[in-house]
Amino acid sequence: MKKKAVTLLMIAAAAVLTACGGKGASQQDAPSVLADGVLTVGIACGEDRSCFRSTDEDGNPVYAGWECEVLNVLPEYLPENTQIEYIYAADQKELTSMLADGRVDMAAGSYTRLDTYASQYLVSENYGYGSLYLVNAKNAYVDNLAAYKDENVGVSNSIPVTSAADIPGIEGVVQSAYIDMALMSIDIRAGVVDAGICTEREAVQLMSDAELNIQELRNGPQIGMVFLLPGGQTDLLKSVNKAISVHYDELAEAGSRPYASKQ
């Protein structure tokens, strides 16, 4: 299969992440977002284990999953009578814009821990772990990179560099960075890249494409998922981390995934 370098994608990825807005984490004197007694949480659901959305008998949205398990106990560590209000985002891109614009006080969207986010927002401890997924053409039932030695493989920019480096066989492929899963899908079908690696949330986005095969990457590293908060909200961050820690310990003790697999 013909290989093509996709250097423009790598440049675009760096440019977009650099331009991604947000209140700097150094704003130590920022007023508390809890002053109005409401914590507005932007949430992007992808029908994966981390978060999914359904409706109750009255048609109201109901959120569940790893993120919501933590958010359900978070009020215990917030000022008394603080209410949590969910604002739905169609995808992670929209959610990031909502956080940057100040429309939400906190973002829950299966973010992985990235240096870029750490420089722009406050980043919570890991609330769960997710697998990486291998995406390739229909009927290409390969769940590892051994078959792609010297071939061109797309790698989602959402995967932390350290996690990508731990993927068995990654050193033997030609990597191309992607910030857009729709473009990765097009390029796999067109043969621009032979396969792609993405997070679980991104894999869910591609499930409806009948021309693709998506499998959990065999022996791939698990990646930690975090909440993002505006800069200066250090007290809120402490509360979030406390809720994560307590909830994590309780579920790990019970042997529940993803907590029992904490690395």
> 140 and 89 in one domain?
no
Shortest CA distance to 114 belongs to which of 70, 161, 68?
161
- Sequence letter at residue 9: L
> Cβ(121)–Cβ(23) under 8 Å?
yes
| Number of domains, the chain | 2
Residue 46's domain comprises: 32-129+223-261
Instruction: For the chain, give the DSSP string.
Output: ------HHHHHHHHHHHHH-----TT-TTPPPTTTTSEEEEEEE--SSSS-EEEE-TTS-EEEESHHHHHHHHGGGGSSTT-EEEEEEESSHHHHHHHHHTTS-SEEEEEEE--HHHHHHSEEPPP-EEE-EEEEEETT----SSGGGTTSEEEEETTS-HHHHHTSTTGGGSEEEEES-HHHHHHHHHHTSSSEEEEEHHHHHHHTT-TTEEEEEPTTPPPEEEEEEE-TT-HHHHHHHHHHHHHHHHHHHHTT-TTGGG--
Question: pLDDT per residue over 12-24, tens digit each?
Answer: 344 433 444 334 4
Question: pLDDT per residue over 93-152, tens digit each?
Answer: 899 999 999 999 999 998 988 888 888 999 999 998 889 999 999 888 788 999 999 999
> Residue 62: pLDDT band by 50, 70, 90 thresholds?
confident
> Residue 248: pLDDT band by 50, 70, 90 thresholds?
confident
> 164 and 113 in one domain?
no
> 124 and 36 in one domain?
yes
Residue 178 belongs to a domain with what CATH number? Answer: 3.40.190.10
Question: Has residue 5 been placed in a domain?
Answer: no
> 37 and 147 in one domain?
no
Question: Has residue 80 been placed in a domain?
Answer: yes
> 124 and 146 in one domain?
no
> 233 and 187 in one domain?
no
> 62 and 173 in one domain?
no
Shortest CA distance to 20 belongs to which of 189, 182, 181, 228?
228
